[in-house]
Chains A and B, each alone.
Chain A
Amino acid sequence: MARKKETAARKTRAQTRKGRKTERVKRAGGAKKVRTSAAGVKTSTRTRKKGEATSAIGAKRPAGRKRAKGRQAGGEKPGWRDIPRGGLIVKAGNAETYETGSWRTKAPAIDFDRCTNCLFCWIWCPDGAIQVKDGKVVGIDLFHCKGCGICAHECPKEAIAMVDERRTTHVA
């Protein structure tokens, strides 16, 4: 319980860290730069490449319309002529490219020897972050996992532990 309280407190602190230009997130794959806009919307270098903003939206310009000069250079947001009208999002499920893993303070680590593949962790994951293949748990999608800990809490075999990121082993 004490551990959980500490986690919650750290999380609150993390959530209030808005407006910083950069922050470093340590992860299994090494350090990664995350840009944070003034609004606190994170644009990780992994999710957003140059010019990709357009494709994420699925921008389509009405025929015969010229794109304003200098728009979209260097990942700038597109202008009004270059986005679908009506506020529509035409790329279904493109939130997949948005990283929520950076919210996490602790990550689930699976002990595959204990796992019986009951899939309770999978059905109760709010972020669909438990990776299942052929009916077996194969890993955790740390790009999206927010570290809520439901999987660890509910695992009937205690095969999942919430651990410090640096010691996490996972299959991505």
Chain B
Amino acid sequence: MSHRGRRTGSGARVLRAPAPAKGTIVKALRGADAVAEAMRQVNPGVVAAYPITPQTDVVERFSEFVADGEVGTEFVTVESEHSAMSACIGAAAAGCRVMTATSANGLALMWEMLYIAASYRAPIVMAVANRALSGPINIHCDHSDSMGARDSGWIQIYSSTVEEVYDNVIQAVRIGESKDVRLPVMVMFDGFIISHLLERVRVLPDKKVQSFIGPPRPVYSLLDIDHPLTYGPLDLFDYYFEHKRQQVDAMEYAEKAITDVGKEYGQVSGRLYGYYEAHELDDAEVAVVALGSTASTIKGLIPEIRDERIKGGLLKVRLFRPFPTRDVVRRLSATKAVAVLDRSASFGADGGPLYLEVSNALGRAGAKTKVTNYIYGLGGRDISHEHIMRVYQDLTRMARGRLKPGTRYLGVRE
């Protein structure tokens, strides 16, 4: 997010980043360490977490902070992810700022509670180290875990570098706790690819983080002795629908909150965040849409693509929920062909989840852009330089009507 060239833009639509905060320290951190570091600086009231590869390093680092008294957090070392999320819900309902982290099967074990957390409007922040949801069991990266949770009512932010994970975790606290939003937030980072990748991170001073997030502002608390609350009643057909409608409304408020918080974070850190990041899109004839670490990889290849005389651009989607439908239309409808890269399959559907969103957005807007889908990287399969070049080459053929759009698979053996 830091490098803003003439041809780049973001949902925040601010072209020049302010100067970085005083006291910023550059550290070499792995993704998991960066999450733990952000959690240390947030210093939440309660963390309830359970270890799972590749998230384990997050809880290990955080445990060290607890052991050294570097955080004041009540750390609940639960016996399962289901209990982790249950305890997070209880703690949030009791007025605390709450955080946790998980991966794949752990996220799946929380499934029931994910919906409940969102329904109770509990602004829990959870880092998700993306990992394939088995089986057969696999510990490496794909997005099948968090994509499955896309309708659970959580805000979902994808990170494509270690520094972004750090920044996103801090912003997630503010986004989730925003007035009229009050929703839980998942911050995704690719398992191993980012969680175990050592990168340069400009860590903000603790005080800056604290003043940015401010004290927790619970609207309700179970510990408010003067106003005993009933949380989670039996909600039947006469009111349930209204409560779901409220959640839809909250997501609409989240759109503004995400933009505002991204801008404000930019003022504090010098790193601006919006809904998406656009690279070389202004004059692009063809474009790729991607999430997570792959978007970073593609970003690095764009000069090469341009050298090949392909007018190629990249739309890196940061938010999956709420999905930046309007931005997708605005930035892509002038292109001739778009390839959407999905790191998860939606078996039996017309394509991967990201593809379905993008193609729906462009289709509903009446754009003439051809949209095609590539499924890649399942279970941690590498996506190579050649794969990406092939996608851009396919797109130029598609733009000229020489290749039909459809769902294709990158890197699978036939």
Contact = CB atoms under 8 A, between A and B. Distances in A.
A and B touch in the complex (CB under 8 A): yes
Interface of A: 39, 41, 62, 77-80, 83, 85-90, 92
A77 B241 CA distance: 12
A36 to B, nearest CB: 14
A39 B230 contact: no
B120 interface: yes
Given A90-B227, A92-B230, A85 B237 contact: no
B220 A92 contact: no
Interface stretch (B203-211, B245-253, B257-265, B357-365): B245-253
B242 A83 contact: yes
B121 A85 contact: yes
B237 to A, nearest CB: 7
Interface string B216-260: 000010000001111111011111011101100110000000000
A64 to B, nearest CB: 9
B52 to A, nearest CB: 28
Given A85-B121, A86-B120, A80 B249 contact: yes
Interface of B (DSSP majority class): loop
Contacts of A88: 220, 229-231
A89 B229 contact: yes
Interface in B153-205: 179-180, 182
18 contacts: A39-B237, A80-B243, A80-B245, A83-B242, A83-B246, A85-B121, A85-B182, A85-B243, A85-B246, A86-B119, A86-B121, A86-B122, A86-B231, A86-B243, A87-B231, A87-B232, A92-B229, A92-B230
A85 B228 CA distance: 16
Contacts, number: 57
A44 to B, nearest CB: 17
Contacts of A62: 179-180
Which 3 A-B pairs give the minimum distances between C-beta atoms? A80-B242, A89-B230, A86-B121
A77 B182 contact: no
B239 A77 contact: yes
A97 to B, nearest CB: 14
B182 A92 contact: no
Given A62-B180, A85-B182, A79 B242 contact: yes
Contacts of B243: 80, 83, 85-87
Nearest to A83: B242
Contacts of B228: 92
Interface residues of B, number: 27
Contacts of B250: 85
Contacts of A39: 236-238
Nearest to B245: A80
Q: Which of A77, A83, A86 has the most chain B CB within a 10 Å cutoff?
A: A86
A77 B243 CA distance: 13
Contacts of A86: 119-122, 182, 220, 231, 243, 246
Contacts of B182: 85-86
A89 B249 CA distance: 20
Contacts of A77: 238-239
Q: Which of B180, B228, B235, B246 has the most chain A CB within a 10 Å cutoff?
A: B246
Contact of A87 (B119, B179, B245): B119
A80 B246 contact: yes
B217 to A, nearest CB: 14
Given A83-B246, A87-B120, A90-B230, 8 more contacts: A39-B236, A39-B237, A80-B241, A83-B239, A86-B243, A87-B243, A88-B220, A88-B231
B183 to A, nearest CB: 10
A129 to B, nearest CB: 21
A41 B241 CA distance: 18
Contacts of A89: 229-230, 233
Nearest to A78: B242
Contacts of B220: 86, 88, 90
Nearest to A84: B220
A77 B250 CA distance: 21
Contacts of B238: 39, 41, 77
Contacts of B120: 86-87
Nearest to A41: B238
A116 to B, nearest CB: 35
A85 B227 CA distance: 16
A62 B253 CA distance: 12
Given A79-B242, A80-B246, A87 B227 contact: no
A83 B233 CA distance: 14
Contacts of B229: 88-90, 92
A80 B248 CA distance: 11
A14 B19 CA distance: 74
Nearest to A77: B238
Contacts of A41: 238
Interface in B96-120: 119-120
B121 to A, nearest CB: 4
A89 B229 CA distance: 6
A160 B193 CA distance: 75
A92 B228 CA distance: 6
Q: Which of A62, A77, A78, A88 has the most chain B CB within a 10 Å cutoff?
A: A88
A145 B191 CA distance: 59
Contacts of A80: 241-243, 245-246, 249
